[in-house]
Copies of this chain bind each other. A is one copy, B any other.
Amino acid sequence: VRRSAPPPSSPPRETYHHGNLRQALLDAAVALVQELGPDAVSVREVARRAGVSSGAPFRHFADKTALMTAVAEEGARHLRGETEAAMAAASEDPIARFRASGIAFVLFAVKHPGHFRVMNMPEYAGPSRSAMIGEMVATGTARTRDLVARAQAEGRMPEGDPEAILLAARALVYGLARLFADGHCAQMGIGPEQAKDVAEAVTGVLGRGLVRKPERPPQPARPTRKKAKRR
Whether, in the assembled complex, A209 has its beta carbon less than 8 Å from a beta carbon of chain B, the answer is yes
List A residues 107-154 near B (Cβ within 8 Å): 120-123, 126-127, 134, 137, 150-151, 154
Chain B residues, Cβ within 8 Å of A171: 171-173, 175-176, 179, 202
Return 19 A-B CB contacts under 8 Å, by A number: A37-B122, A84-B230, A88-B230, A91-B218, A92-B224, A95-B218, A120-B178, A154-B219, A157-B210, A157-B211, A158-B210, A165-B205, A167-B176, A167-B202, A170-B175, A174-B175, A175-B175, A205-B206, A208-B209
Closest chain B CB from A70 CB (angstroms): 15
A206:B168 contact, CB within 8 angstroms: yes
B158:A208 contact, CB within 8 angstroms: yes
Whether, in the assembled complex, A62 has its beta carbon less than 8 Å from a beta carbon of chain B, the answer is no
Chain B residues, Cβ within 8 Å of A193: none
B208:A167 contact, CB within 8 angstroms: no
User: In the complex, what distance in Å separates the CA atom of A188 from the CA atom of B209?
Assistant: 26
Chain B residues, Cβ within 8 Å of A208: 158, 209, 211, 214
Answer whether A168 and B164 are a contact pair too, CB < 8 Å, given A212-B158, A224-B92: no
List A residues 28-74 near B (Cβ within 8 Å): 36-41
Chain B residues, Cβ within 8 Å of A154: 218-219
Whether, in the assembled complex, A221 has its beta carbon less than 8 Å from a beta carbon of chain B, the answer is yes
Whether, in the assembled complex, A183 has its beta carbon less than 8 Å from a beta carbon of chain B, the answer is yes
B207:A164 contact, CB within 8 angstroms: no
* Residue-wise interface mask of A (193-231) relative to B, using a CB-CB cutoff of 8 A (1 in contact, 0 not): 000001001101111111111100011010010000010
Chain B residues, Cβ within 8 Å of A137: 184, 187
Chain B residues, Cβ within 8 Å of A151: 211
**In the complex, residue of chain B having the shortest beta-carbon distance to the beta carbon of A197:** B164
B123:A37 contact, CB within 8 angstroms: yes
Chain B residues, Cβ within 8 Å of A179: 167, 170-171, 174
**In the complex, residue of chain B having the shortest beta-carbon distance to the beta carbon of A221:** B92
User: In the complex, what distance in Å separates the CA atom of A209 from the CA atom of B208?
Assistant: 6
